[in-house]
Amino acid sequence: MNQTPISDCLFCRLAAGEGDLIWQSETAAAFNDIHPQAPIHILVVPRRHIVSLAETNPSDQAVLGDLLLSVAEVARQSGLEPDGYRVIINTRDHGGQVVEHLHLHILGGEPIGPLRARS
């Protein structure tokens, strides 16, 4: 598991400032998703390269807590707090993870609906 920023990781490069960040802290960065699934679709990533949630361990507790606090702050600053929003972490192939860098999706701006269509 690679925990340091890597040059060929898109999200490492974006978090380092190669893209349009909408929010940042010492440990996390946020930017708009290029394929939005809602009127507001923001990604929050750790600045340190972590492959996925499945690759974390107890030593990552502070980073994981900071990511959740970062999501709350980004949602507040984006005006999502009054009506609510959804936070999603996709993990590995079956979970729908496309980029191998832990990231949290913030979706809002309209009612999101169920996670899956019911049969």
41 is catalytic: no
Which amino acid would we find at residue 107? L
Burial (CB count within 10 angstroms: exposed 0-12, middle 13-18, buried 19+), residue 101:
buried
Pick the catalytic residue from 41, 49, 101, 103.
Answer: 103
The per-type count for the chain, helices as H runs and strands as E runs, is: 2, 5
DSSP per-residue codes, 46-89: ESS----GGG--GGGHHHHHHHHHHHHHHHHHTT-TTT-EEEE-
Which residues are designated catalytic? 103
